[in-house]
Amino acid sequence: MNLKSVSNKHICHLTVLNPAKHSRIFYKAARSQVAEGYQVSIIGQDAAAAAYDLEGVRIHPTGIFSRMHLARWQAAKKIAQMAIATQADIFQIHAPELLPVSREIQAALPAARFVYDMHEDYRLNILHAGYYPRWLRGPLSRKVRKAEMAFAKWGAGVIYAEDCFSGILPFSVADSAIVRNRFLPPAEIVAAPAFGDERLPLLLYSGTIALNWGVMDALALWQALQAKQAVRLCIAGHTHDRELLQQIAAFVQASGYAERFFLAGGAEYLPYSEMVGWIQAADLGLALYQLRGNIRDRIPTKFYEFMAAGKPVVFTENSAWNVLNAELGFGLAVKPKLAEADLAKILARIYAPKQGPFQGRVSRADFAWEPEAGKLLALLGGLKFT
């Protein structure tokens, strides 16, 4: 096996819709690779006019565009050209639509190796995606899986972000790894800004702003609690769905409690340093997911983030999450349709967060990123170069 030394290897991350400073891509993988001695770059969404360096990572901006924008559908070719220009040794691909054009990169850089970082089961995501027309979901989901299977015939490896994804693609055990989205703090954490009456408890919906992720359920809970106890709510995250943001704004305005609500991010990407600041400021995290097929067996990233902050999470009752909660006691499971008893339990959790099993059974080993980084680096370090 002829390996170039780590100090001379260049890893380039490629993504389409994700920001270049994505929590998994930049804050976890890229920073861990830099610490290991790799040269690292990222080609992804960023508003900067030119490439720049951040924490030892070279960021190559593609501009900002939404899921359904024409620029998105034209992005793959542009990213392939930018990737070739980096002359990288390893390409870590974070979007299935880049798998076909990675063949063009390989033709230009035949010594390079390609690894697919599977954040999602994209086939299932598309089937349950409200932002694509129904007639398109089936054909598009099949096209994505076909591209993934084609990559499996020549790619060097696959990284699965969830245990439930393992084995989807026919890579050997040696050429695959499960690298979970556990928590690694950013170098700097930005304190959450004050809003409303700071004496009121703060509920936090964090992450992707989406219907299936339970954003409207979070709003409904916030409104329902007002009759029993005044509480604040922050939605901190990002969405490409402008209509959903309008729906959220209309709900908040109609609630009569607009002064108790704050939107951080929304149509703009929210820096992870600010996201973590909101998590640290919150009294309770909200994970009221709608249990579709693309969500049910996954472990949400926010579970790890709130464990790290020592804050409880209210989550939709789900067998996989119930088992984890029985072991760690990190939060409170509620029915998809909240009852009065659920509201009482939630209020009790807000006002007594240090009581019960939550504080005593979560250890750093349950949420820390470092073991996951070790698996990622082992996979990359084992790649063969001719």
Question: Alpha-carbon Rg of the chain, whole angstroms?
Answer: 21
Query: Residue 131, exposed/middle/buried by CB under 10 A (0-12, 13-18, 19+)?
Result: middle
Q: Comparing 354 with 225, which gets the higher pLDDT?
A: 225
Q: Domain 6-182+369-381 maps to which CATH number in 3.40.50.2000, 3.30.200.20, 3.40.50.970, 3.90.550.10? A: 3.40.50.2000
First-to-final CA distance of the chain: 8
The pLDDT of 218-245, averaged and rounded, is 95
The pLDDT of 20-30, averaged and rounded, is 98
pLDDT band at 386 (very low <50, low <70, confident <90, very high): confident
The pLDDT score that the predictor gives to residue 85 is 98
The pLDDT score that the predictor gives to residue 4 is 46
The pLDDT score that the predictor gives to residue 66 is 81
pLDDT band at 339 (very low <50, low <70, confident <90, very high): confident
pLDDT over threshold 50, residue 192:
yes
pLDDT over threshold 50, residue 250:
yes
The pLDDT score that the predictor gives to residue 360 is 53
pLDDT over threshold 60, residue 359:
no
The pLDDT score that the predictor gives to residue 275 is 98
Mapped to the 3 state alphabet, what secondary structure does 172-217 carry? CHHHEEECCCCECCCCCCCCCCCCCCCCCCEEEEEEECCCCCCHHH
Q: Looking at the domain covering 202-366, what would its CATH class be?
A: alpha beta
The pLDDT of 338-355, averaged and rounded, is 77
Of the candidates 147, 137, 184, 130, the residue with the CA atom closest to the CA atom of residue 307: 184
6-182+369-381 and 202-366 share one fold: yes
The pLDDT score that the predictor gives to residue 350 is 80
Mean residue pLDDT of the chain comes to 93
The pLDDT score that the predictor gives to residue 356 is 45
Lowest mean pLDDT among 19-23, 64-68, 104-108: 64-68
Over residues 294-307, the pLDDT tens digits come to 898 999 999 999 99
The pLDDT of 293-322, averaged and rounded, is 94
Domain spans, the chain: 6-182+369-381, 202-366
The pLDDT score that the predictor gives to residue 352 is 62
Residue 19, beta-bridge partner list: 45
Alpha-carbon distance of 165 to 261, in angstroms, equals 36
